Amino acid sequence: MAIGEAHLSKSFSPSRPSLSYGTGRLEGRAETLLGDFAASSRPAFAPRALLATKLAPYPSRLTRRSFVDAARASARRLQTTSIDCLQAHWSPAYFPWQENALLDGLADAAEAGLCRCVGVSNYGPVALRRVYARFARQGIALASNQVQFSLLKRSAERTGLLEVAAELGVTMIGYSPLALGLLSGAYSRERQPPGLRGLLFSTQADAALDRLLALLQAIASERRVPLAAVAVNWTRSRDLIPILGVRSPVQARDALACLSFQLSAGEIAELDAASLRCREVTDNIFETK
């Protein structure tokens, strides 16, 4: 099981409620759920999964030791002595004074054996080269970089980030491969999601998105898989590991269906062309250059 699939387990546990990241009074709750799941699923789970988590540069974390302490607490909640991949939750683009402490903390955690590899999130091509070189000077390999990526968010291609990552040997992880549900097949202009996602859909919905969704459905019908699985499979065609948030067994099965087939070159080309005609979703404010 790849890193992205471990994150899928993080979002869903059949016997317990799904709780996003677990902030505030629920601090660490997601890790506790995942740790319980991994422990109850051994030995079948352990050889097939990588447990990954992230450290956020909260305002209270100002020293490298504070990040090491956070990594140690994460390992306890995950019920492991060494986390497979420990990542920076986002770049400190808007809090640059924290970056040294965050990166040094990740390096210290790796050297202490609290994790097997380190990763970052939302780093652009310039920043990725810089942080890669920084870790390399310490003898630490940068394993991953997690960014927003989908048929409706392809900036990592335009900026050259995917090429830089391939050159450096950094695995790319793509979050929001369904663009917050826009590519799930569950919604249309006539059947929009409630709340803030409905507002997002209304700003994105147009004839171009209709055509993209119709193409996804045509491919899904031909291959006899859920529409969402086609959108996620396209992300995998770019050599990214997708991360999906799921809230039900049906959503989990739909997501995992992306592993049952491989899009043809012709299908990928059609989806490429259709997606380029669509309006892109909003950038993550924490992405760096």
State the catalytic residues.
Answer: 21
Assess contact for 99 and 135: CB atoms under 8 A.
no
Q: How far apart are CA 142 and CA 124, in angstroms?
A: 14
Assess contact for 121 and 151: CB atoms under 8 A.
no
Residue linked to tokens 């306890």: 76
| Share in percent of the chain as helix, strand, coil (round to 5) | 50, 10, 35
Assess contact for 134 and 103: CB atoms under 8 A.
yes
Q: How many CB atoms lie within 10 A of CB 104?
A: 17
Burial 126-165 (b: 16+ CB within 10 A, else e): ebbbebbebbeeeebebbbbbbbbbbbbbbbeebebbebb
Which are the contacts of 134, defined by CB distance < 8 A and separation ≥ 6?
Answer: 103
